[in-house]
Amino acid sequence: MDKEAFEKMSLLSVTNINKHFGGLHAVRDVSFSVTKGMIKSIIGPNGAGKTTLFNLLSGEIRPDSGQVQFDGKKIYRLPPYRIATLGISRTYQTTRLFDHMTVLENVMTGAHLMGRAGFFACALKLPWTFSEETAINKKAVELLEVFDLLEFADEVAGELAFGIKRRVEFARACASSPKLLFLDEPAAGLNIYETIELSRLIPVIRDRGLTLLLVEHDMSMVMDLSDEILVLNEGARLVEGLPREIQKNTDVIRVYLGDEQC
């Protein structure tokens, strides 16, 4: 495949991205790309720089150097809300819901980018804002249905069980109709039933036309779901490939289990 066609296929391409925290080189020269419509996972031992890489790509931390191209646009060093506007959404390792708002309001906030109404229009409730609100509400209700959350719609998000909070966060992230969704350890803190439910939901999200980038420790889930896996170790790219290749790769086994095991 020539380079141009490849660029067209890849939704996100990261080239030689770097981040230092003081003396620590947290992410070193990492390059990879994500193809439209796939589920790609990033794995690696603790401290490998997975979450840092996510934060660099979503704009929460600014990279020191590198190139990031998303959907044909450079997103390197843009502020987080601009990156979100272009179509990247994310969830967090520890859920970050708006605790004092209801589940429905949380998901409606996710659909913020569907609307245009500013202070002036909202203050006067100009007639055209009504149809916008109705559309946002409809979208939110639809997502609550997809994630089986309708019964919790009017509950205050902060008072829900952890597994449900995570589903709300998913619904909220999907509500912004992103092209690319980052999931940061979606199975962390979930029990076995919730994890099974999650493994069912992730392909559902993908089938809605989203591309997924996943950081996860639950290996069986990663191997089942991923189309491609990127392995990081000590901030650098170790290998990249199909799940079955990664499972057999001696380098990967070494960094996870130590030298003696090989």
Interface pick for another protein out of 29, 98, 219, 236 (rule CB under 8 A): 98
User: Could you tell me the two tokens for 54?
Assistant: 């996510």
Whose Cβ is closer to another protein: residue 97's or residue 229's? 97
- 132 touches another protein (CB under 8 A): yes
CA distances from 25 to 17, 56, 65, 78, 118 (A): 11, 14, 12, 21, 42
Of residues 61-80, which lie at the interface with another protein (CB under 8 A)? 79-80
With contact defined as beta carbons under 8 Å apart, do 205 and 170 qualify? yes
Rounded Cα–Cα distance for residues 156 and 159 (Å): 6
Q: Quick one: which of 9, 31, 37, 60 contacts another protein (CB under 8 A)?
A: 60
Contact with another protein (CB under 8 A) among 2, 46, 119, 127: 119
DSSP code of residue 45? S
Residue of the chain from 13, 109, 199, 249 that contacts another protein (CB under 8 A):
109
Distant-in-sequence, close-in-space partners of 69: CB < 8 Å, separation ≥ 6: 7, 12, 13, 14, 15, 75
Starting at the edge strand that comes first in sequence, how are the strands of the sheet with 10-21 ordered? 24-35, 10-21, 65-70, 73-74
Residues 145-204 that bind another protein (CB under 8 A): 172-173, 176
- From candidates 81, 150, 151, 245, binder to another protein by CB under 8 A: 81
Which one among 125, 138, 244, 248 touches another protein, defined by CB under 8 A?
Answer: 125
Binding another protein (rule: CB under 8 A), the pick from 19, 90, 139, 167 is 90
Q: Rank residues 114 and 146 by Cβ distance to another protein and give the closer one.
A: 114
Q: At what angle do helices 192-207 and 162-175 cross, to 10 degrees?
A: 10
Contact 69, 11 (CB under 8 A): no
Query: What Å distances lie between residue 253 and 28, 41, 50, 116, 134, CA to CA?
Result: 21, 17, 18, 50, 52
Q: For another protein, how many residues bind (rule: CB under 8 A)?
A: 37
User: Binder to another protein among 28, 31, 67, 117 (CB under 8 A)?
Assistant: 117
For the window 233-262, what string marks contact with another protein as x by the rule CB under 8 A?
------------------------------
Pairing between β-strand 10-21 and β-strand 24-35 as defined by DSSP bridges = antiparallel
Residues engaged in binding another protein (CB under 8 A): 58, 60, 79-81, 84-85, 89-90, 92, 96-101, 105, 108-110, 112-113, 115, 117-119, 122-125, 129, 132-133, 136, 172-173, 176
